[in-house]
């Protein structure tokens, strides 16, 4: 039995391609798309078209004897069989139909000695409970594959590959915009890429195409709200606020995100004044470069003092809400009006200076 408490899922895909199989695995992590694809590829490599309806078994929170019985079943006209165990209570939750202590002892003794031709996969949505002793046992006696959110390098290759299936290409700048607008969730991106391919006529997917057809995450909508506010477009800002409220976004969450956007505009302006290149500012702030450039355009209309005052307004408003001094919705709208007032005050000052 392979021992590994941490294992890179890219290495797991390499094992599948090389025909290396593990008798027992734990699949966990935040990236559900890659996790599902890994299971699909494992089944395709281990079983293929050799009676998958017989050689692939899925159980939901089974008792230990059921796991062992299925694992000991000989593959039918194939070299291997795959046993997938979902929603296993000993990894998250409480067993209902079996005793946890007995189940743990049975599987602790059995898993290292499972037959050679079986691939047992404990499949968890999200992360398994790291405090559970069954998880700790699997870290010692099974292969634990953590499906983390992909980094920029992996996601860049994957996005380009998905678009290539439709005969489309995309620049890195537009790709960053796509991720920012739609989130980096690969299931969501897969659907948005399909929409882009159907919408675009030319080979290259442009920023205008992304804006025209792609759905926006709540974070991207808050960025639009903040951009409208800080640009002095109150009508647009309050329209977006109403739309987000109808979608169920709480005023407290919007307030926190708006405060973060105000801080980013301030930091972008300060770094620009210090001569920090756009790409470096993007790296420091964890923002795509196009968002940094947008923040810089907005920040130029404010004095450094006004940007600092806006950030303090955000902090004071959050404190007032959390302390019970103000109601969420009213506090958010009052904060938005104060930001608009500061924008107007700076614009009036600039006009007087020009005269």
Per-residue pLDDT tens digits for 18-40: 999 999 999 999 999 999 999 99
Position 349 scores a pLDDT of 54
Domains of the chain: 9-146 (3.40.50.300), 152-213 (1.10.8.60), 218-342 (1.20.272.10)
Residue in 22, 19, 18, 137 with CA at minimum distance from that of residue 88 = 137
The pLDDT of 114-137, averaged and rounded, is: 93
Is the pLDDT at 1 greater than 70, yes or no?
no
pLDDT tens-digit readout, 197-241 = 999 988 999 999 999 999 888 778 888 888 898 888 999 999 999
**Which one of 88-97, 218-227, 314-323 scores highest in mean pLDDT?**
314-323
pLDDT tens-digit readout, 168-197 = 999 999 999 999 888 888 999 999 999 999
The pLDDT of 236-248, averaged and rounded, is: 90
Position 3 scores a pLDDT of 41
The pLDDT of 119-123, averaged and rounded, is: 97
Position 39 scores a pLDDT of 96
Q: Residue 48 corresponds to which tokens in the numbers above?
A: 């293929």
Residue in 303, 304, 308, 299 with CA at minimum distance from that of residue 345 = 303
Length of the chain in residues, anyone? Answer: 355
- Phi then psi for residue 60, to 5 deg, are -115, 115
Residue in 252, 243, 241, 257 with CA at minimum distance from that of residue 215 = 243
Position 26 scores a pLDDT of 96
C-beta of residue 307 within 8 angstroms of C-beta of residue 321: no
Position 348 scores a pLDDT of 53
Is the pLDDT at 351 greater than 70, yes or no?
no
Is the pLDDT at 5 greater than 70, yes or no?
no
pLDDT tens-digit readout, 133-145 = 999 999 999 999 9
C-beta of residue 139 within 8 angstroms of C-beta of residue 133: no
The pLDDT of 50-58, averaged and rounded, is: 93
pTM for this structure?
0.74
């Amino acid at each position: 039995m392979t021992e590994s408490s941490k294992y890179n899922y890219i290495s797991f895909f390499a094992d599948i391609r090389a025909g290396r199989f593990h008798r027992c695995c734990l699949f966990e992590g935040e990236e559900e798309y890659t996790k599902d694809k890994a299971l699909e590829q494992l089944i395709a490599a281990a079983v293929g078209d050799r009676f998958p309806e017989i050689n692939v078994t899925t159980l939901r929170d089974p008792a230990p004897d059921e796991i062992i019985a299925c694992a000991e079943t000989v593959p039918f006209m194939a070299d291997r069989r795959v046993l997938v165990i979902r929603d296993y209570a000993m990894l998250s939750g409480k067993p209902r139909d079996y005793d946890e202590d007995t189940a743990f002892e049975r599987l602790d003794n059995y898993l290292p000695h499972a037959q050679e031709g079986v691939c047992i996969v404990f499949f968890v949505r999200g992360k398994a409970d790291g405090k559970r002793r069954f998880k700790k046992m699997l870290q010692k006696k099974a292969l634990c594959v953590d499906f983390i959110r992909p980094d920029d390098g992996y996601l860049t290759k994957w996005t380009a590959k998905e678009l290539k299936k439709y005969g489309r290409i995309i620049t890195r700048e537009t790709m960053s915009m796509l991720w920012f607008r739609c989130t980096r969730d690969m299931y969501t991106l897969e659907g948005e890429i399909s929409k882009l391919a159907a919408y675009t006529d030319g080979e290259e997917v442009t920023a205008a195409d992304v804006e025209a057809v792609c759905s926006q995450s709540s974070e991207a909508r808050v960025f639009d709200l903040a951009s409208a506010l800080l640009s002095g477009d109150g009508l647009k800002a309050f329209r977006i606020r109403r739309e987000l409220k109808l979608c169920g976004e709480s005023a407290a969450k919007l307030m926190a995100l708006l405060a973060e956007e105000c801080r980013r505009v301030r930091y972008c302006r300060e770094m620009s004044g210090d001569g920090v290149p756009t790409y470096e500012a993007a790296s420091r702030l964890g923002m795509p470069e196009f968002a940094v450039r947008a923040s810089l355009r907005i920040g130029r209309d404010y004095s450094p003092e006004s940007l600092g005052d806006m950030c303090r307004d955000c902090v004071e408003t959050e404190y007032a809400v959390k302390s019970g001094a103000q109601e969420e919705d009213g506090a958010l709208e009052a904060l938005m009006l104060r930001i608009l007032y500061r924008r107007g005050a700076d614009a009036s000052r600039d006009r007087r200076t020009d005269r």
